[in-house]
A and B are shown apart, each in its own frame.
Chain A
Amino acid sequence: DSGVTQTPKHLITATGQRVTLRCSPRSGDLSVYWYQQSLDQGLQFLIQYYNGEERAKGNILERFSAQQFPDLHSELNLSSLELGDSALYFCASSRGGLAAYEQYFGPGTRLTVT
């Protein structure tokens, strides 16, 4: 158990809908990272937050947004969902904000868009 929690574990929704994925980092970790793992794209870095502020942005679509709250939990919002958004979404956390090397991953949320 990495100490990172993600809810829900599974999510099935229809195209065009909006969903929110939630992540709680390990105690003491200030950074949260979001990743998308799909069969055709592999593992893609989406975005990083550090202590409530956006720190780095990867291949995140405009339909997706994220935030980190004062209690350090983070939410990833996915809107106008398409079939291609079906994937495993990971959250990871680390203690530092820059050059953090130990990222601990949550169990993931498996999103299925039908």
Chain B
Amino acid sequence: AQKITQTQPGMFVQEKEAVTLDCTYDTSDQSYGLFWYKQPSSGEMIFLIYQGSYDEQNATEGRYSLNFQKARKSANLVISASQLGDSAMYFCAMREGQGNQFYFGTGTSLTVIP
């Protein structure tokens, strides 16, 4: 089974609208971390947001928030007030347990339409 599943290969959103990028994960560990990264066309990977498995509140970083639903094993990224510069690939990732193994999803390509 895939550790990280991103079911939306491509998404479009109107500028200034909010968008949700889906991510589900699979682990039997109690301790794990969930991450979102952005990869613009220039290629660099940019850390966006982190959620620990024991964190009770959803993580937020500026316009980014992580909708963490532990029972459903989902960690969706919400981008509010989309900007043209948000057009990029977005990767969900998980650090599993204490072993520091990292797993990445296949990514979602987000296009912001003016």
Which residues of A come within 8 Å of B, CB atoms? 2, 33, 35, 42-45, 48, 55-56, 58, 88, 90, 92, 97-108
Contacts and interface: CB of A to CB of B under 8 A. Distances in A.
B43 interface: yes
B45 interface: yes
A108 B104 contact: no
Interface of B: 31, 33, 35, 37, 43-47, 50, 52, 91, 93, 95, 98-107
A26 B47 CA distance: 14
Contacts of A35: 102
Q: Which 4 A-B pairs have the closest CB atoms?
A: A56-B100, A105-B45, A45-B102, A43-B104
Contacts of A99: 31, 33, 52, 95, 98, 100
A101 B33 contact: yes
A33 B102 contact: yes
B50 A101 contact: yes
A110 to B, nearest CB: 8
A101 B35 contact: yes
7 contacts: A42-B105, A43-B107, A44-B104, A45-B103, A56-B100, A101-B52, A108-B45
Contacts of A101: 33, 35, 50, 52, 95
Contacts of B35: 101, 103
Nearest to B105: A42
Nearest to B93: A43
A107 B91 contact: no
Contacts of A33: 102
A107 B104 contact: no
The CB with the most chain A CB atoms within 10 A, among B44, B45, B101, is that of B45
A102 B47 contact: yes
A42 B101 contact: no
Given A98-B98, A99-B33, A105 B104 contact: no
Contacts of B107: 42-43
Contacts of A58: 101-102
Contacts of B93: 43
